[in-house]
Amino acid sequence: MKHFVAAALLGSVFAAPVAAQEIKIGYALAEDSHYGAGARAFEESLKASLGDQFSFRHFPSSGLGGEREVLEGLQLGTVEMTIASDGTLSNFVPEVGVLGIPFLLRDKEHARAVLDGEIGEEMLAKFEDAGLHALAWGEQGFRHITSNRGPIETPADLEGLKIRTMENPVHIEAFRALGAAPTPMAWPEVIGALQQGAIDGQENPLSVIVSAKLNEVQKNLTLDGHVYSSTIILVSPSLWGRLDDDQKAAFEKAADDAVVAMRAYVDEVDASGVAQMQEAGMTVNELSPEQKAAFRDALAEPYKNYEAQFGKDLMDRIQAVE
């Protein structure tokens, strides 16, 4: 009888289901943002491929800290996954900073072709040396300026404007050359700084401006599209190293599905976001091609520095992508 009970207990141990591996995913914006859309699509795709092998805990709205802290968590293995902006990521892989050069990327179609092609793949591979595993390029869209000081129509309108930027040296140099006072600041601090008047404005894609309800703290929106802003979907090397080949393939497919969801979100917001912000009380102006050219001309000196830093050949390769 004892042998029977022992065998039964042993059988129950082997029959017990294997616990799902938990994935903590942190990102800067709310769940109803393009970050959230990408994170949900990733989880749904992985579940469709692998069933209940993995469970997710989402930490939106910087629930695990700012992007730099979350990325450092991936390096340490205390966080499994994130979707992070290229501005922050350029501090980990400097070559990514080339994508932040103002007016280098013409439109979304051009940007997506660059990121989905050879250049994008080359940059993703560089994250291994930074202690991160990059899966795919996501999207935020083209960045625009909001402020409480008035519409931006010429470079002179930026003179002295205290504008929050990401911790991105390329962006900082450009705004400084245009006469603004760029103030690098982690995203969780931005709304409070705008409310308190510590800064006059900020710059972000419509996907962020709308999802963060910046109309509540900013009066003016200038559609200048000065920089295309991407994101990258990353996992910790410690998690990646534990996956078998089938699981890695499922993660890569999930990342591709997340990119589709993020781009669809950005496309929808780009189509409807301006009207939403106008209805919410913001004054909106859009720069003409001639006005944009004036801003580009004012960046002649920074462009020389960008060519020295990133290489004219790489910049030419990017511009040559159809």
Instruction: Write out pLDDT tens, residues 21-57.
Output: 999 999 999 999 999 999 999 999 999 999 999 999 9
Q: How confident is the model at residue 166 (pLDDT cuts 50, 70, 90)?
A: confident
CATH superfamily to which 18-264+272-320 belongs: Bacterial extracellular solute-binding protein, family 7 (3.40.190.170)
Judge residue 129's burial from the number of C-beta atoms within 10 Å of its C-beta, 0-12 exposed, 13-18 middle, 19 or more buried.
exposed
| Helix, strand and coil percent figures for the chain, each rounded to 5 | 55, 20, 25
* Residue 9 pLDDT level (bands cut at 50, 70, 90): very low
Q: Where does the pLDDT of residue 4 fall: very low under 50, low under 70, confident under 90, or very high at 90 and above?
A: very low
Looking at residues 229-258, what average pLDDT do you find? 98
φ, ψ (nearest 5 deg) of residue 222? -110, 120
b/e burial code for range 8-19 (CB count within 10 A of at least 16 → b) = eeeeeeeeeeee
Angle among Cα 70, 76, 81 to the nearest 5 degrees reads: 45
Are the CB atoms for 26 and 39 separated by under 8 Å?
A: no
What's the whole-model pTM score? 0.87
pLDDT of the residue at 18: 59
Quickly count: other Cβ atoms within 10 Å of residue 189's Cβ: 14
Q: Measure the CA–CA gap between 43 and 49, rounded to whole angstroms.
A: 10
- pLDDT (0 to 100) of residue 167: 83
Give the model's confidence band at 19: pLDDT under 50 very low, under 70 low, under 90 confident, else very high.
confident
Task: List all residues 6 or more positions away from 149 whose beta carbon is below 8 Å from its beta carbon.
Answer: 161, 200, 201, 220
Domain ranges of the chain: 18-264+272-320
